Homo-oligomer: A and B are copies of this chain.
Amino acid sequence: MLDRGGFGRDGAAMIPVADPPERIRLADAQDLLAGFKARFQLPAGVIYLDGNSLGALPKATPERLRRTLEEEWGGDLIASWNKHDWIGAPARVGAKIARLIGAKPSEVVVADSTSVNLFKLLVAAMGVQGGRRVILTEPDNFPTDGYIAEGVAGLLNGCALRTAPAAELEAAIDDDTAVVLLTQVHYKTGRRWDMERVNDVARRRGALVIWDLSHSTGAIPVDLGGSGAELAVGCGYKYLNGGPGAPSYLYVAERLQSRLASPLSGWMGHAAPFAFAPNYQPAPGVARFQCGTPPILSLLALEAAVDLMLEADMAAVAAKAEALSDLLIAEMASACAAHGFALITPRRFADRGAHVAFAHPHAYEICQALIAEGVVGDFRAPDALRLGPAPLYTSFCDVWRAVQTLEAVMQRRLWDRPDYRTRARVT
């Protein structure tokens, strides 16, 4: 019996799952990224397929935080801002993330949350779009993106928020469109926008595009520079493994930086933050999008995680994300046929991210039963079971075992048993 940490039913054995077949074990044996799994602290016996919400803990992170606390803060106190370059962390970590998303080091900075950064870029973009007053987005974008856009529309004179379904979105970009706001990989369905194509259409029609990369970075190839992207934000958790509520990053293409003004004109975005000048003068580059003093503990945990990801080849990461999710879709085919799951994620990797979602009328209960059996995915209303393998710490055997467990849950109708349903605890 496996040690399941906080998972599983109290005192109950988990469903026994057979050993993976040779072809699956071979895929792991040939995986160049296989060594990264040991760099994460994961509970024994748990297959974690929810890293697209909150990533796993890099083993280096606790020691990095201990050092920051005891040696830096505890030993050097306020001198740490210079001595340990805390003050440079937003630009330094931003420059590291830039390497993961095809940006220049001077185009990315870490600051605030994804929602706050979206607000900054939306207001800044509206400020240079003259008479164009429409923010265009998808109706089922990740909620906070829509909420923030709604807030901006309410705040700025004559600004309006419009939505168009994905299939009609390109056609809806018109002469009134100031900004198109899209999440590159949809949080639920996993559907992926063709970034280059949307950038092209928008540029020809005079609109700016803001990309939310939260479900992209660390999972699919992202090439902001190569695709002509102008503005982007992304969270520091999910595939980046920066920790719960890790600070967010934002990207502003170099050619736009001097034209855009952040509405959140805090001192960290000032050209000379320590001059204590009476008036606000924005910093020359992307640094102007910093605002207040950054939360150093959370920021340095993010840096430890980004440093780990930078050890991997990003093309290999994307290739493994494709292979893992392809395997998941293939192995789920029989479960789909026998137990009523419907794949709601596009099949081709070019059209999707690394996570895969299946609709099922009992998706919520099934998800809870899976968690009790040590396979952690998550439920997205109204009926989606979302499973997100992460290239750095999910093995091919993990994916295979997860599907075997799901089949057992369905065959034994565990999801309908009260002792499973009451164990549910996951967000």
Distance between Cα atoms of A381 and B247 in the complex (Å): 31
Q: Are A65 and B297 in contact (CB under 8 A)?
A: yes
Q: Are A83 and B264 in contact (CB under 8 A)?
A: no
Q: Are B123 and A112 in contact (CB under 8 A)?
A: no
Nearest Cβ distance between residue A73 and chain B, in whole angstroms?
5
For residue A380, which residues in chain B have a CB less than 8 angstroms away from its CB?
Answer: 276
Distance between Cα atoms of A378 and B48 in the complex (Å): 48
Nearest Cβ distance between residue A405 and chain B, in whole angstroms?
17
B-binding segment of A144-152, A324-332, A406-414: A144-152
Q: Are B245 and A294 in contact (CB under 8 A)?
A: yes
Q: Are B276 and A381 in contact (CB under 8 A)?
A: yes
* A260-299 to B contact mask, C-beta < 8 Å, 1/0: 0111111110100011111110000000000111111111
Distance between Cα atoms of A151 and B281 in the complex (Å): 11
Q: Are B246 and A150 in contact (CB under 8 A)?
A: no
Given known pairs A75-B5, A116-B112, A297-B301, the reply for A292 and B144 (CB within 8 Å) is yes
Q: Which of A57, A246, A292, A371 has the most CB of B within 10 A?
A: A292
For residue A262, which residues in chain B have a CB less than 8 angstroms away from its CB?
Answer: 151
For residue A112, which residues in chain B have a CB less than 8 angstroms away from its CB?
Answer: 112-113, 116, 292
Q: Which of A151, A157, A278 has the most CB of B within 10 A?
A: A151
Given known pairs A43-B77, A57-B74, A244-B80, the reply for A427 and B87 (CB within 8 Å) is yes
A235 interfacial by beta-carbon distance below 8 Å? yes
Q: How large is the interface on A (under 10, 10 to 19, 20 to 34, 35 or more residues)?
A: 35 or more
Distance between Cα atoms of A295 and B156 in the complex (Å): 29
A82 interfacial by beta-carbon distance below 8 Å? yes
Nearest Cβ distance between residue A312 and chain B, in whole angstroms?
20
A248 interfacial by beta-carbon distance below 8 Å? yes
Q: Are B297 and A77 in contact (CB under 8 A)?
A: no
Q: Are A263 and B151 in contact (CB under 8 A)?
A: yes
Q: Are A78 and B376 in contact (CB under 8 A)?
A: yes
Nearest Cβ distance between residue A369 and chain B, in whole angstroms?
15
Residue ID in chain B nearest A123 by CB atoms: B155
Given known pairs A57-B69, A80-B244, A265-B148, the reply for A293 and B143 (CB within 8 Å) is no
For residue A299, which residues in chain B have a CB less than 8 angstroms away from its CB?
Answer: 245
Distance between Cα atoms of A62 and B71 in the complex (Å): 11
Contact partner, A115, options B48, B119, B267, B274, Cβ 8 Å: B267
A70 interfacial by beta-carbon distance below 8 Å? yes
Q: Are B143 and A270 in contact (CB under 8 A)?
A: yes
Q: Are B244 and A296 in contact (CB under 8 A)?
A: yes
Nearest Cβ distance between residue A164 and chain B, in whole angstroms?
14
Contact partner, A243, options B6, B53, B297, Cβ 8 Å: B297
Nearest Cβ distance between residue A423 and chain B, in whole angstroms?
11
Q: Are B41 and A292 in contact (CB under 8 A)?
A: no
Distance between Cα atoms of A66 and B294 in the complex (Å): 21
For residue A293, which residues in chain B have a CB less than 8 angstroms away from its CB?
Answer: 113-115, 235, 237, 244-245
A255 interfacial by beta-carbon distance below 8 Å? no
Distance between Cα atoms of A247 and B262 in the complex (Å): 20
Contact partner, A70, options B7, B41, B80, B266, Cβ 8 Å: B41
A–B complex contacts, Cβ < 8 Å, 19 sampled: A6-B75, A6-B83, A7-B79, A42-B74, A48-B77, A54-B77, A73-B244, A78-B376, A82-B426, A83-B425, A112-B113, A112-B292, A113-B294, A115-B292, A146-B278, A151-B280, A155-B155, A243-B296, A246-B295
Sample of 9 more A-B contacts, CB < 8 Å, known A115-B291, A297-B301: A6-B83, A41-B70, A57-B70, A140-B278, A147-B279, A157-B157, A243-B296, A244-B293, A295-B298
